């Protein structure tokens, strides 16, 4: 099964003039204004505690993994002990008593604790994805700004209602580098977005009390070359990162001809780079989204290393019927635990036959683990 429709390719030059004019007309973008770290260093709608509540963190991870408090693995996770023997039987003070213990669950993960101020798993992020130049790459470019923000607000409300125990934070997930079918001026089959477009994303996010994710489709380039080009934005406390292995063309093939791939070393480099920014600017932990819908898209996934400064989300990026999406999530994303999981919903492609409808928040939350990052395209 092909889980994801090949994305349409757009060049920044000469496209999206009408859409850009709409943003200017309603006052969402002021020409000549660029964001600096000092100008946006405060996110008043997000509190940054002085210390991490590790007990609350662990219990939230258990809740996402749907581990019942009655399970022997519940207290085992909290205490770091193993209640079973190698045969899967519990040790007991009564020699005649043998208590069968279920196999150790893959989730929750026991990754490094994040620094204080980490957003996950205490909050769920609901993001709208796309590029302002394009009506075909996602919801961000499909609607006028006011309409898009209203839809984002109503969508986050649905998720808040579905899980009242987890505050929901909206996000603008903007494709800052779009893969191209033909070799671009850079030579890497990518179009890099200008600062003016990133500033739009930041201003929209400010109006919605939302986060910003900058998403990278690196083409025949790589994360080591591309991420530092946007360091002034990635140094902002409310700006996070997404990387898309589908369009990482290590063989040199043009994007869209084959599904690309990234290795754990690519993900770890991105995490370490972001960790450096967190340390340099005294920022709360960053979030790194890694899109995935095939096994080969992310190689050596078990070697990916979350850091105290960077939380890593493996995002199920496939489209189709509910059965296909669940299969992809269970066997591709959840089967190789890293730290957190995400789930992508497509307003159009998830409705294509034989699908009978887009999955509801309740259906997505019933998955194990429950995704903490939700993206709409």
CA–CA gap between residue 103 and residue 127 (Å, rounded): 35
User: Are residue 74 and residue 171 in the same domain, yes or no?
Assistant: no
Residue 153 lies in a domain: yes
Residue 29 lies in a domain: yes
Residue 233 lies in a domain: yes
Instruction: Using DSSP, state whether 52 is helix, strand or coil.
Output: coil
Tell me if 3 sits within 8 A of 294, measured CB to CB. yes
Q: What's the average model confidence in pLDDT over 91-95?
A: 52
Residue 166 lies in a domain: yes
Whether the predicted pLDDT of 90 surpasses 90: no
What's residue 28's pLDDT? 42
User: Sorting pLDDT into bands at 50, 70 and 90, what band is 78?
Assistant: very high
User: Sorting pLDDT into bands at 50, 70 and 90, what band is 85?
Assistant: low
Whether the predicted pLDDT of 214 surpasses 70: yes
Residue 106 lies in a domain: no
User: Are residue 295 and residue 352 in the same domain, yes or no?
Assistant: yes
Whether the predicted pLDDT of 365 surpasses 90: yes
User: Are residue 36 and residue 159 in the same domain, yes or no?
Assistant: yes
Residue 130 lies in a domain: yes
User: Are residue 73 and residue 150 in the same domain, yes or no?
Assistant: no
User: Are residue 150 and residue 35 in the same domain, yes or no?
Assistant: yes
User: Are residue 223 and residue 315 in the same domain, yes or no?
Assistant: yes
User: Are residue 70 and residue 185 in the same domain, yes or no?
Assistant: no
Burial class (CB in 10 A: 0-12, 13-18, 19+), 307: buried
Q: Ramachandran region of residue 33, left (φ > 0), alpha (ψ -120 to 50) or beta?
A: beta
92 vs 316, more confident: 316
User: Are residue 63 and residue 172 in the same domain, yes or no?
Assistant: no
Residue 112 lies in a domain: no
The CATH number of the domain holding residue 132 is: 3.20.20
Token output for 92: 């007991």
User: Are residue 60 and residue 138 in the same domain, yes or no?
Assistant: no
What's residue 30's pLDDT? 37
User: Are residue 84 and residue 30 in the same domain, yes or no?
Assistant: no
Last residue of a domain, one of 38, 72, 100: 100
Residues 135-176 have pLDDT tens digits of 888 999 999 999 999 999 999 999 999 999 999 999 999 999
97 vs 323, more confident: 323
Residue numbers of the domain that contains 90: 54-100
- Structural domain count of the chain: 2
Q: What's the average model confidence in pLDDT over 304-330?
A: 95
Residue 224 lies in a domain: yes
User: Are residue 70 and residue 166 in the same domain, yes or no?
Assistant: no
Residues 186-208 have pLDDT tens digits of 889 999 999 999 999 999 999 99
292 vs 13, more confident: 292
User: Are residue 190 and residue 72 in the same domain, yes or no?
Assistant: no
Token output for 51: 């210390």
């Amino acid at each position: 099964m092909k889980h994801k429709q090949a994305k349409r390719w757009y060049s920044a030059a000469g496209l999206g003039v009408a859409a850009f004019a709409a943003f200017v007309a309603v006052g969402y973008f002021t020409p000549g204004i660029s964001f600096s770290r000092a100008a946006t260093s405060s996110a008043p709608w997000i509190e940054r505690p002085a210390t991490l509540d590790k007990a609350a963190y662990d219990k939230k991870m258990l809740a996402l993994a749907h581990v019942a408090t009655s399970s022997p693995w519940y207290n085992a996770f909290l205490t770091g002990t193993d209640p079973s023997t190698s045969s899967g039987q519990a040790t007991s003070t009564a020699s005649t008593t043998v208590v069968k213990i279920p196999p150790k669950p893959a989730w929750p993960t026991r990754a490094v604790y994040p620094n204080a101020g980490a957003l996950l798993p205490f909050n769920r992020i609901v993001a709208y994805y796309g590029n302002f130049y394009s009506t075909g790459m996602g919801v961000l470019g499909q609607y006028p700004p006011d309409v898009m923000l209203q839809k984002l607000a109503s969508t986050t409300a649905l998720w808040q209602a579905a899980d009242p125990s987890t505050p929901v934070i909206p996000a603008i997930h903007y494709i800052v580098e779009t893969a191209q079918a033909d070799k671009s001026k850079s030579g890497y089959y990518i179009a890099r977005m200008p600062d003016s477009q990133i500033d739009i994303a930041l201003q929209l996010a400010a109006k919605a009390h939302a986060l910003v994710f900058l998403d990278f489709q690196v083409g025949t380039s790589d994360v080591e070359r591309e991420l530092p080009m946007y360091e002034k934005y990635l140094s902002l406390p409310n700006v996070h990162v997404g990387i898309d292995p589908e369009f990482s063309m290590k063989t040199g093939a043009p994007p869209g001809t084959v599904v690309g791939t990234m290795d754990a070393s690519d993900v770890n480099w991105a995490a370490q780079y972001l960790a450096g920014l967190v340390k340099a600017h005294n920022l709360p932990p960053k979030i790194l989204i890694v899109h995935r819908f095939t096994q080969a898209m992310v190689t050596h996934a078990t070697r990916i290393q979350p850091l105290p400064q960077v939380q890593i989300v493996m995002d199920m990026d496939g489209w189709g019927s509910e059965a296909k999406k669940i299969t992809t999530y269970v066997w591709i994303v959840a089967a190789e635990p890293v730290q957190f999981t995400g789930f992508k919903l497509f307003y159009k492609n998830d409705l294509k036959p034989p699908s009978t409808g887009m999955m509801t928040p309740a259906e997505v939350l019933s998955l194990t683990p429950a995704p903490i990052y939700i993206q709409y395209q």
